[in-house]
Structure 1
Amino acid sequence: MRKTIPAVVAIAAALLLQTTQMARADDLVDEYNAYIGEDDLYNSNGERLREPWQIIRQDRANYHKFKIRQRGDEGDQFFSSVDNRAAAERMIRDGTMTRDARELLLQGDVTINVKVFEGDDGDYLKITVE
């Protein structure tokens, strides 16, 4: 009997984890590729941007507001909203990006893939380098 209790607990924990993961199936809201070039690494005042969220926000402002588009830039609906661009910092913090992707993004001259997800805990981004 004692040996079956840990086994039952392990099975119950595995089922709970699986149910939690299934319940947390987040929705892909938007996806786009963007080339991060020199124009995206500096803000409107000419200051060098130092955080990934700043660069992504600038890239999307360049695309939507200033009509500055580079080869490899694709459109998206989500960041056409100035409020959504302002939320980029939180969305990156709540999302995923590898250390390598972060470093390459900060250097520029790279194409990134951005997936915008809507989850139970809010919107977030998954960023990968192409």
Structure 2
Amino acid sequence: MRRMTNLIAAAALALAIPAAMPAAAQQLIGAYTAFIGTDDLYNSSGARLTQPWQVLRQDRANYHRFGIRHAGDEWDPFFGSIENRAAMERMIMNGSMDPIARQNLLQGGATVFVRIYGAGGVGRYVDVTVAR
């Protein structure tokens, strides 16, 4: 009976370790600070953006593609790629953002601190902090 219990415990541990490894393997692959200005609250067609990921994506497109930069905007090693900017929605949903931070971001006039986590150059999630 004891041997069976030990085998079951060993099997459970063997199954749990690989499942935990990808999360543990995630590392900080980039970070930046940006000021969310009026230009970041509207898409290139002039429509008002309503989701945090849209505003953050527009901010990075403005910075990397259109050269629209505000005082406090920093370069980042990840969102220069249009594909990585397109992945931002998923990365924000997999990360974290306080509801008040979300509201402040959507109002503009705030500074964001973004940390990008992933592995092998592939972003998995972002953590966003917003300050007024």
Whichever residue aligns with residue 85 of structure 2, its letter is R
Question: 5+ residue gaps in structure 2?
Answer: 1-15
Whichever residue aligns with residue 66 of structure 1, its letter is F
Which residue is equivalent to 2:85? 85
Give the CA deviation at 1:77.
1.3
Partners of 2:26 and 2:43 lie apart in 1 by 32
Partners of 1:107 and 1:64 lie apart in 2 by 22
Partners of 1:94 and 1:53 lie apart in 2 by 12
Which residue is equivalent to 1:8? none
1:38-77 correspondence to structure 2 within 5 Å: 38-77=38-77
Which residue is equivalent to 2:130? 129
| 1:65 partner SS | helix
Would you say how many aligned residue pairs link Structure 1 and Structure 2?
117
- The 4+ residue runs of structure 1 with deviation greater than 4 A are none
What do you get for the CA RMSD once the two structures are aligned?
2.6
- State the percentage of identical aligned residues: 54
Partners of 2:62 and 2:101 lie apart in 1 by 21
Listed one character per residue, the Cα deviations across residues 43-96 of structure 1 (whole Å, up to 9, x for unaligned) are 001000000000000000000000000011000010000000000110000111
Whichever residue aligns with residue 34 of structure 2, its letter is A
Partners of 1:25 and 1:113 lie apart in 2 by 22
Partners of 2:95 and 2:116 lie apart in 1 by 9
